[in-house]
Amino acid sequence: MSFCRRFILAIFVLVLFTPQAAFAVGSGGFENASFSAASLARSNAVTADPDEPASISYNPAGITDLPGIQSQGGASFLSLMTYQKSLTTDSTTHSSGTLNFIPTSYLTINPGRTLNDRLAFGIGSDSPFGLANKYDANQSIVRYIGYNNAMRMFTVKPVVAVKVTNWLSLGGGPMYYRIFDYDQVLAYPNVILGGGADGQGRLHMTGNNWGWHFGALAKITPKHQVGFYFRSPIMVRLKGNLQVERSAFGGNFQTGMHAKLNLPLNMTWAYAYKPTLKTTYTTDFGYTRWSTLERVYVVADRVNASDDAIISALGNTPGPGTASDKDYTDAFNIHLGIKHKLNDKWTIRGGSAFYWTPVPKTSFTPVVADSNHLALSTGAGWSPTKNFTFDLSYFVIAYFRRGIDNQISESIGGSADGKYSSYVQSVTMNATYKWDGFGWGRKDDEEAVEIHGMTKSEKEVTAAPQITIPQPTPAALANIPAKDVQPPQVKAAEPQKVLERVVVQEEEKKEAPQPASRPSVEDINEALKKKFAK
């Protein structure tokens, strides 16, 4: 491997283990399905057509079809905006528009014939869940719920895939979850106990746990494929602290916080239809068991009677970082996608998806301002060489307007009531580099280099030999009448037919059968000279 290739591989490995931030996109609730530009360009309708290293995250069975070593790194640039229209004053407020960065990285290894073309390995890192939004601190809809909220995490996914038969592949492995930022900033309501102006509370927690995922890919016919993906549920124990400033009773203090966060299982069924070698139509149907998220249990260490009462009141307000009823419901989503290869260098993609929200009106907050939403996407892939591909996609989501009238934070002077609508725009790009020809199990690589449909060795043997035709002497010509003297007419023989005749004649001369072997070019020339000399 050249120094340049080693350097590029090292860069991808470095990116692979870089902690990542996640923000909800491409799914419902705070689930994040942002894996690659190629998958988002088809609105994630890719489970039955996994054709890139990022398939580690949506169907790891597909990596058995990725030859050699393939490394993929990319990033999404995401903008989220939420609007709220008051039910009483007709005024409109909105979140602070921010541009978020979401990196992903994947690596696959297929040893080829070394393992009988049956096994492949991979490792990936991305964020299947995430959240980030920010509002003005003075807005009543978020003042006691959380006006600066984030859940940033990453996963590491080592996978193994096996080709059980020529038409069925299975793959899966463990998933390590690391939530490194579970943060929230909100007003601290001293007013509850007549303490005057509000203070401020800053929550920060972290946690980790293990889960697993599994995928299957069945190639029923060359034109029809079906896929399946399953991601297990997990429970993450979060630990951290709540830092309070300007408490009317305890001043500035810090107390420990503990929570349990349930992350739901996901299942996807998919179908791909390939009417031609260049065009693929795909559809996915997904299910997420959000009903496991009934409450976020939070326990705070004791401070004093007054502050304990205030923290308990905050704990009855839904939102990340507080103990609250969520009562999420199971949700479904459907995806449609198309991929068309224009030529060896360009591939275009498009798609659409619809998501049903898991968030009920009774526990809706601006922190997770979710509603039923429609997504549209497009993108393209460019391969300037056979080893390098660059993909780009544009993904937009429109959340349907939703009227909310619930009791959230009303007991402490706040209100989340209003008509909400949100918009998400995402531009994603990634690069894939492929290393092949390592010679794993390919003992005949030097002799089996394809040249115009034939191997290198066949090209040498079947090349037209240089034939020298013996010329008659002047004395012989003198005895032949002039009218009978004609230039020798030699019809060009097809190389393959000449080779077959020579081999047959040589074998007939042998007394006993010998193991079949391919004659060299020198042997062919010598045999042809003898034939024409006669």
Please determine, for residue 10, whether its predicted confidence score (pLDDT) is greater than 70.
Answer: no
Yes or no: say if 123 and 106 are a contact pair by the CB < 8 Å rule: yes
What are residue 446's DSSP bridge partners? none
Residues whose CB falls within 8 Å of the CB of residue 383, separated by 6 or more in sequence, listed in order: 344, 345, 346, 347, 389, 390
Residue with tokens 């990033």: 75
Confidence of residue 195 (pLDDT cuts 50, 70, 90): low
DSSP assignments along 116-164, one per residue: TT-EEEEEEEE-SB-EEEE--TT-TTTTTT-SEEEEEEEEEEEEEEEES
Please determine, for residue 175, whether its predicted confidence score (pLDDT) is greater than 60.
Answer: yes
CA angle (474 as vertex; 533, 492 as ends), nearest 5:
40
What's the pLDDT score for residue 491? Answer: 52
Q: Between 507 and 386, where is the model more confident?
A: 386
For 163-184, give one letter per residue: b (16+ CB within 10 A) or e: beeeeebbbbbebebbbbbbbb
What's the pLDDT score for residue 5? Answer: 44
Burial of 493 (C-beta count, 10 Å sphere; 0-12/13-18/19+): middle
What's the pLDDT score for residue 505? Answer: 62
What's the pLDDT score for residue 482? Answer: 54
Of 436, 434, 381, 429, the C-alpha closest to 107 is 434
Tokens of 251: 């001043």
pLDDT tens sequence across 454-499: 444 444 444 444 555 555 565 555 555 555 555 555 455 555 555 5
Full 3-state SS string of 311-329: HHHHHCCCCCCCCEECCCC
Q: Where are the domains of the chain?
A: 3-435, 454-533
Residue with tokens 């429970």: 235
Q: How far apart (Å, rounded) are the C-alpha atoms in residues 425 and 80?
A: 7
Residues whose CB falls within 8 Å of the CB of residue 118, separated by 6 or more in sequence, listed in order: 64, 162, 163
Q: Between 415 and 508, where is the model more confident?
A: 415
For 118-155, give one letter per residue: b (16+ CB within 10 A) or e: bbbbbbbbbbbbbbbbbbeeebbbbbbbbbbbbbbbbb
Q: How far apart (Å, rounded) are the C-alpha atoms in residues 368 and 370?
A: 6
What's the pLDDT score for residue 323? Answer: 39
Q: How far apart (Å, rounded) are the C-alpha atoms in residues 349 and 303?
A: 57
Least confident of 119-123, 370-374, 486-490: 486-490
- 220 C-beta neighbours (distance < 10 Å), count: 11
Instruction: Determine if the pTM surpasses 0.85.
Output: no
CA distances for 509 relative to 497, 504, 505, 512, angstroms? 19, 9, 7, 9
Q: In CATH terms, is domain 3-435 a member of 1.10.10.10?
A: no
The one-letter amino acid code at 38 reads: A
Computed over its alpha carbons, how large is the radius of gyration of the chain? 34
What's the pLDDT score for residue 197? Answer: 83
Q: How far apart (Å, rounded) are the C-alpha atoms in residues 514 and 508?
A: 11
pLDDT tens sequence across 310-353: 777 665 444 443 436 678 899 999 999 999 999 999 999 999 99
Yes or no: say if 74 and 15 are a contact pair by the CB < 8 Å rule: no
Helices (H), 283-397: 305-315
Percent of the chain exceeding pLDDT 70 equals 73
Yes or no: say if 53 and 72 are a contact pair by the CB < 8 Å rule: yes
Confidence of residue 448 (pLDDT cuts 50, 70, 90): very low
DSSP assignments along 443-495, one per residue: TTTTT--EETTEEHHHHHHHSPP---PPPPPHHHHHTS-GGG------PPPPH
